[in-house]
Amino acid sequence: MLGIDIVDLRDFEKKISKDLFLKNIFTENELSYAKNKSNTLQTLAGIFAAKEAIVKAMDLKLTYILRKRIEILHNKSGKPYFKIDGNIFKKSLSIAHDGNYALSVCKNDEYFFIDSYFDINLKKRAKETNKGDYGRIAFWGGSKGMAGSIYMSSMASLRSGAGLSYIICPKSISNILQIKSVENIIREISCDNFFYSEKNLKEIKKALDKINVLCIGPGMGQNQSLNLLIKKVLLDFKGPVLIDADGLNALTKDISILDIKKDMVLTPHPMEFSRLTKLSIDQIQNNRSEVAINFAKKHKQVLVLKGNKTIVTDGVRTYINKTGNPGMATAGSGDVLSGIISSLLYRLDPFEAAKLGVYIHGLAGDIASFKLSEESLIASDIIDNIHEVFKIFRSNHGWYLSISRYR
């Protein structure tokens, strides 16, 4: 992305006549540098234009300028560079002057950012630790022809830090998953005709023994008895729950299931949400925030309404996600999101887990899109780039990831 800003020196001179403007916008280093130049006004205008250009190129908020989180510095030859929150960014930044104008251009094509808010939520792993410390996450779903959904959810959870990932699936597809999912633990269910029924309740409860978090729905398929079976499982399971895909479709037959357990995470796309609420897709898309908040508040659940600018809300708190791109409109992308959030549910409260999960999911998709293009992006590419997001979290700078090697 290219950020360009032009500052009119005549207007700028009026602004800097106020001491408060100088103190709020410029750091001590910037003021000192400008005062040592023959034309202090022109130099400060150039620095201010550079800050504005960086905000545009990086898609940052203006508070980065107002809180002096961006600092413009110059090397020995006078070439400008900058820091964000104390971290140096070696990228294309230029400042020029022409008559009564200062011009700055910033080119951003090498870095992805993580909002500093999210960095405080995940603690580093202790040196003395084991896999059980990071949660036993179970994915209940899968059906004939739909083994891929539950596989991607489980792999996304492992890439997001789960200690152990369990796949609870029909015996008919377990052999496929045993071969494909070498990092997962497979627990077979003896389903009739490849689908779950109430007869499987005892087996499912046994499979959920010692499980910390349960994700219901990826590739599960649909049949008449699923609604009641899910209800009975929820009555028994005590840990956090995420419901997606066919799990959500099963709820539409009797939405009172949501009254059984509070603070579950529901992850519908607009069509699934339409089935849950009986609202038309147009009604939902034209009032996304309002209908999402009202639903979450009414049912005391955490809702993740997927789409462009995914909405996460518990009816009180609301977050609108900014990461992600159109290339992520691909089969299996939602399964990956379910896996990421399910992993985080062991470490964070449901709202925070969902919020961070959609952010990570979108950013991993952005990195994948940068490497491959939006057109070529598939769901497994998102999984393959989750580790890049966590590298950003855990980098020494805690801020950015250079991916210029992929250019």
DSSP state of 80: E
Backbone angles phi, psi at 375, to 5 degrees: -65, -35
- pLDDT, position 296: 97
What are phi and psi for residue 382, nearest 5 degrees?
Answer: -65, -45
Strand partners of residue 101: 8, 98
Q: Is the pLDDT of residue 385 over 80?
A: yes
Helix, strand, coil shares of the chain, percent, nearest 5, are 45, 20, 35
Strand partners, 169: 188
What are φ and ψ of residue 9, in 5° steps? -60, -30
Please tell me the predicted confidence (pLDDT) of residue 394. Answer: 74
Which of helix, strand or coil describes residue 184? coil
Number of continuous H segments (helices) and E segments (strands) in the chain = 17, 17
User: Under DSSP, is residue 186 helix (H, G, I), strand (E, B) or coil?
Assistant: strand
Q: Which of 62, 74, 77, 81 is nearest to 24 (CA)?
A: 62
> What is the spatial distance between Cα 182 and Cα 169, in angstroms, rounded to a whole number?
15
Q: Is the pLDDT of residue 405 over 50?
A: no
Residue ranges of E strands in 149-243? 164-170, 185-189, 213-216, 241-243
pLDDT average, residue stretch 129-148: 95
**What secondary structure does DSSP assign to 25-44, as a single string?**
H--HHHHHHHHTSS-HHHHH
User: Is 97 in contact with 46 (CB distance < 8 Å)?
Assistant: yes
State the pLDDT at residue 121.
63
- pLDDT of 398 reads 39
Predicted pLDDT of residue 374: 92
CA 354 to chain centre: 8
Model pLDDT for residues 87-123, shown as the tens digit of each residue: 888 678 999 999 999 999 998 765 666 665 555 467 7
Q: Looking at residue 387, what is its pLDDT?
A: 93
Domains of the chain, earliest start first: 2-109 (3.90.470.20), 118-405 (3.40.1190.20)
Q: How far apart are CA 146 and CA 190, in angstroms?
A: 16
**Lowest pLDDT segment from 170-184, 189-203, 257-271:** 189-203
Residue 105's SS3 state is strand
**pLDDT for the residue numbered 119:** 52
* DSSP annotation string for 1-15: -EEEEEEEHHHHHHH
More confident residue, 61 or 384: 384
State yes or no: pLDDT of 371 exceeds 80.
Answer: yes
Q: pLDDT value at position 116? A: 56
> 246 near 219, Cβ under 8 Å?
yes
pLDDT tens digits, one per residue of 307-362: 999 999 999 999 999 899 999 999 999 999 999 999 999 999 999 999 999 999 99
pLDDT in tens, 242-293: 999 999 999 998 999 998 899 999 999 999 999 999 999 999 999 999 999 9
Tens-digit pLDDT profile for residues 60-81: 889 999 999 999 999 999 999 9
What's the maximum distance between 2 C-alpha atoms anywhere in the chain? Answer: 85
**H-helix or E-strand containing 250?**
helix 245-251
Q: What is the pLDDT of residue 395?
A: 65
* Spatial CA neighbour of 351 closest among 281, 296, 392: 296
If you search the block for the tokens 């130049």, which residue do you land on? Answer: 37
| Mean pLDDT, range 138-165, rounded to an integer | 96
CB 402 within 8 A of CB 385: no
Q: What are the tokens at 300?
A: 């005391």
**CA nearest 168: which of 181, 150, 148?**
150
Residue 201, φ and ψ in degrees, nearest 5: -55, -45
Q: Is the pLDDT of residue 382 over 90?
A: yes
| Residue 360: HSE in the Cβ half-sphere, 13 Å Cα cutoff | 35
Higher pLDDT, 146 or 119: 146
Q: How far apart are CA 200 and CA 196, in angstroms?
A: 7
CB 340 within 8 A of CB 156: yes
> pLDDT band at residue 407, thresholds of 50, 70 and 90?
very low
